[in-house]
Amino acid sequence: MYNSTIHRLLNGTAGLLALGVFLIDAFTPLEFAIAVLYVLVILLVALTGSIGAVRLAAAISLLLTVTAFVVSPNTDHDHGQLARCVFALLAIGTTTVLALRNLAAMDRRRRAEAALARSESFLAEAQRLSKTGSVAIRVPAGTMVWSDESHRILGYPRGGVVHFGLVLTRVHPDDMADVQRAHGAMLDGAALVEIQHRLLMPDGSLRYVHLVARRSVSDGDSHEYVGALMDITEATLTQQALHRTMDELAHVARVTTLGQLAASIAHEVTQPIAAIVTCGESAQRWLQRTPPDIGEAGEAVEQIIRDASRASDIIRQIRAMAQKAEPRYIDIAVDALLADTVELVRREMQDHQISAITDLHAASARIHGDWTQLQQVLVNLMINAIQAMADVNGRRRLTVTSRVLPDNTVLLVVSDTGPGIPEQAMKRLFNAFYTTKPEGMGMGLSICRNIVESHGGSIEAESPPEGGARMVVRLPLKTASLRAEEEAA
């Protein structure tokens, strides 16, 4: 409304000025180029910013100049009046051209500014939706530039001077060392810096962020980085919830497996208990002799202690599988893990008339992992193999193999002589809720894959040409150099 009033005022003033110039030029005997003042008319109209209005004003000014020349009394015999008319026409034309060029430039600039504003608006909206802010930092000065979304992520209002110290104020104390290392990499001029860490906000809440920064300018020891700061809080919390759910499912699967192994567990516990009773009776007989045979009685007592320890170890393993606890990573002897697991399912194999073959060649190999979780994987694979051979008429054989590979990985293989894995099931075998068993839940192999991958390994299924199925687990080997580094630390 205000602009339209100004424009009407400018156009009205220009119209009055044009009329005054025409009257003076046409009906007064002044001997100077009064028509030049039409330039002011064009400039006044140009202030409205309308290219069409300027063209119209220029056309009217030219027409009035020529009309005034025609209607005015011509008493000038040396053609001075004609020269003044031509001069005025040139001035009007030149001013019109310059005014139109200026207005065109202004229009292009307005369009560019509008496009830039739209782009900035789209970028700001995209950053808000994706929760990704842009940042720039210059080291070692520590000066920074943040986008609106970066201000929101870091919890600072716009308008103040931003610097690296403000970021450090928000960093969680437990992640401060990682952030300082990333800052040190920037000081050294690293081409790319990437870090994930937590922010401790003033209200006590945690925010998870992921920064990726690339060096854009270097000037001696001074470097400038541009990057993206992503708020990954929701994704991280969702992932943590997923891990908790998988842990719950893994616990349920372990308890279910223990139910399937009830006969084997009872047999394993009964054996040492029976041996304890037998050795206790023997010790009594040795002591009741005349004279008492202390040596034989002592050996019987030692055997009782060994059998009691064995029973205690079995119960401890069963309790560990039944308990719901956080993973406990320790150094694990690969062959010992396989041998213990085979013993855990041996009774199950005997009930199904399955022979066990252990081909273990990783006696010195050590992996870093959770014994209970890895044993759960192996028990699940062996139980699957045993069940797969339940209806086989021929020879039933379960083979457990271990090998150390040149790429510092250890290979664990569980193979059977069952019917094998259908080709259409191979690609979906490890998917959650997919099963080839009528009574299956479809979670066992999915949980196995999750456990193996959380240990940095991989698991895959194979159907060898000779028949049966083969489950192959690869786990990273804990090398001697890595053990030495940990001991030094």
Tell me: the pLDDT tens digits for 418-452? 888 877 777 777 776 556 655 554 556 777 888 88
Nearest CA among 153, 350, 344 for reference residue 254? 344
Tokens of 382: 């062996």
Predicted confidence (pLDDT) at residue 488 exceeds the cutoff of 50: no
Pick among 3.90.550.10, 3.40.50.300, 2.60.40.420, 3.30.565.10: CATH of 327-489: 3.30.565.10
User: What DSSP string runs through 131-143?
Assistant: TEEEEEEEETTTE
Predicted confidence (pLDDT) at residue 29 exceeds the cutoff of 80: no
- The model's pLDDT over 319-375, given as tens digits with 9 standing for 90+, comes to 655 555 566 788 999 899 898 888 877 777 877 888 888 888 888 888 998 887 888
Query: pTM here?
Result: 0.46
The label of the residue with tokens 């001997």 reads 31
pLDDT for residue 489 = 47
Nearest CA among 418, 384, 414 for reference residue 399? 414
Distance CA 236, CA 302 (A): 54
Predicted confidence (pLDDT) at residue 119 exceeds the cutoff of 80: no
- The model's pLDDT over 372-410, given as tens digits with 9 standing for 90+, comes to 788 878 888 888 888 888 878 878 889 999 999 988 899
More confident residue, 376 or 62: 62
pLDDT for residue 481 = 46
Tokens of 1: 């409304």
Give the model's confidence band at 194: pLDDT under 50 very low, under 70 low, under 90 confident, else very high: very high
pLDDT for residue 116 = 73
Task: Tell me the CA distances in angstroms from 141 to 115, 163, 183, 215, one per residue in order.
Answer: 34, 9, 12, 15
pLDDT for residue 107 = 85
Provide CATH code, domain 131-231.
3.30.450.20
Q: What is the mean pLDDT of the chain?
A: 80
Angle formed at CA 414 by CA 422 and CA 252, multiple of 5 degrees: 85
The mean-pLDDT minimum among 134-138, 212-216, 257-261, 350-354 falls in: 257-261
Query: Taking the domains of the chain in order of start, what are their residue ranges?
Result: 2-123, 131-231, 235-326, 327-489
Nearest CA among 241, 253, 236, 235 for reference residue 446? 253
Packing angle of the helix pair 2-27, 38-46 (nearest 10 deg): 170
Under DSSP, is residue 154 helix (H, G, I), strand (E, B) or coil? helix
The mean-pLDDT minimum among 165-169, 350-354, 480-484 falls in: 480-484
